[in-house]
Structure 1
Amino acid sequence: MMLQSLISEFEHEVANTRKLLNAVPEKDLGYRPSPVSWTMGELAQHIATIYYWYVGVFTHEVYDVSTDRPERGAPSDIKATLDFFEQNVERARAILKSATEDSLQGLWTMKVGERTVVGPLPRGVVARGFLFNHVYHHRGEMIVYLRASGNKVPGLYGPTYEEAVGRK
């Protein structure tokens, strides 16, 4: 029951993430709202990378992100980021479809070298609380980046403010 719910949410939200990433203009990939913030291109790439982590969550008990370096392309290449996103979505979809309700109970830990950054937690909690919510958090940031740089924001859960005001 939980697995089917995760898969349904995954499919619904992948479409929203795709819509948002497709709204990122190449001309603004270097935009950063503050000196300590990622560029828009780096943020887009990070969102695409989160989908890469699904395989690590469901195939490892302990996943060390410092030893896993996916080939992502440059953050200044939005086409490479979009391709990376699509490849990762396909891998994530396949791993979710091969999961079982029992596998959602298995403990999982994320490390960066010797430092534990997530877990140990049941995989189902990690999927919902780390993978899904992580994407949602960064999508919210991307919406702010797009608006702050004068770009159009796509409606993810209905019309945007700009679309709603424009209808009056």
Structure 2
Amino acid sequence: MYTSISHFIDEWNQEAASTQKVLDALTDESLQQKVSPEDRTLGSIAWHIVSSTPGMLIEFGVTVEAVKDENAIPTSAREIAETFRNVSANTSEAVEKQWTDQTLSEMKNVFGMEMQKSVTLNMLIKHIVHHRGQMTVLMRQAGLKVPGIYGPSREEWSQIGMEAPSI
């Protein structure tokens, strides 16, 4: 877990930037892509990342502005991406201003469980990473180019002069 706010901010900024790349690659048409009739659409997963981040922070004890109309999934991919850009910046700013390295070890009841504040921040990052992974699968199904996250995507290997691994 995090022992310093700066460590969290660094990791949040890196993971949020990767999530932003994924959100920026969405199209309005792709937002309707889903695995099955019972599953969320790509747009609803994307909006869930955007709209639930402030809610999680509020649950953790960080004061941030909630996303307006959080239950109304936008039909514009650009609106989703731009809203996350603001949420991401607000997240860094709020945690940095409201918590200290010392408060990271404080216990907090979150979703009915007692945990250190440092654990809640780790949970926030894992949440966006988990849903970002779901999104990349749906993006492939929708015919979109998936941006590389922790290395080149299939399409990006050739741009670095290498052949994509054939697994």
Q: 1:5 to 1:39 in 2, by over 3 A?
A: same
Amino acid at match of 1:139: R
1:58-117 alpha-carbon deviations (Å, 9 max, x no partner): 337xxxxxxx77433533222332232122112211112122012212222334xxxx3x
> Partner of 2:62 in structure 1?
59
> Partner of 1:121 in structure 2?
115
2:157 aligned counterpart, secondary structure: helix
| Percent identity over paired residues | 26
Whole-Å separation in 2 of the counterparts to 1:70 and 1:109: 26
Whole-Å separation in 1 of the counterparts to 2:67 and 2:22: 25
Residues 31 and 41, structure 2, Cα contact 8 Å, conserved in 1: yes
Using the TM superposition, name which of 98-107 and 147-156 deviates more.
98-107
1:108 aligned counterpart, secondary structure: strand
Kindly state the Cα deviation for residue 30 of structure 1 after the two structures are TM-superposed: 1.1
- Higher-strand-fraction structure: 1
Amino acid at match of 1:105: S
Residues 21 and 147, structure 2, Cα contact 8 Å, conserved in 1: yes
Kindly state the Cα deviation for residue 54 of structure 1 after the two structures are TM-superposed: 5.4
> Partner of 1:65 in structure 2?
none
* TM-score, normalised via structure 2 length: 0.80
Whole-Å separation in 1 of the counterparts to 2:108 and 2:78: 32
* TM-score, normalised via structure 1 length: 0.80
What aligned pairs does 1:79-98 form with structure 2 within 5 A after superposition? 79-98=78-97
Q: 1:108 to 1:69 in 2, by over 3 A?
A: farther
Kindly state the Cα deviation for residue 132 of structure 1 after the two structures are TM-superposed: 0.5
Residues 50 and 83, structure 2, Cα contact 8 Å, conserved in 1: yes
Using the TM superposition, name which of 82-91 and 38-47 deviates more.
82-91
Matched, 1:156 2:149: yes
Give the gaps of 5 or more residues in structure 1.
61-67
Whole-Å separation in 2 of the counterparts to 1:87 and 1:47: 13
Whole-Å separation in 2 of the counterparts to 1:9 and 1:136: 12
What aligned pairs does 1:15-164 form with structure 2 within 5 A after superposition? 15-53=17-55, 55-56=57-58, 57-59=60-62, 70-72=68-70, 73-98=72-97, 99-111=99-111, 116=112, 119-128=113-122, 130-164=123-157
Kindly state the Cα deviation for residue 16 of structure 1 after the two structures are TM-superposed: 0.7
Whole-Å separation in 1 of the counterparts to 2:110 and 2:156: 40
Higher relative contact order (CA 8 A, sep 6+): 2
1:154 aligned counterpart, secondary structure: coil
How many correspondences in the alignment?
154
Residues 47 and 138, structure 1, Cα contact 8 Å, conserved in 2: yes
Residues 54 and 92, structure 1, Cα contact 8 Å, conserved in 2: no
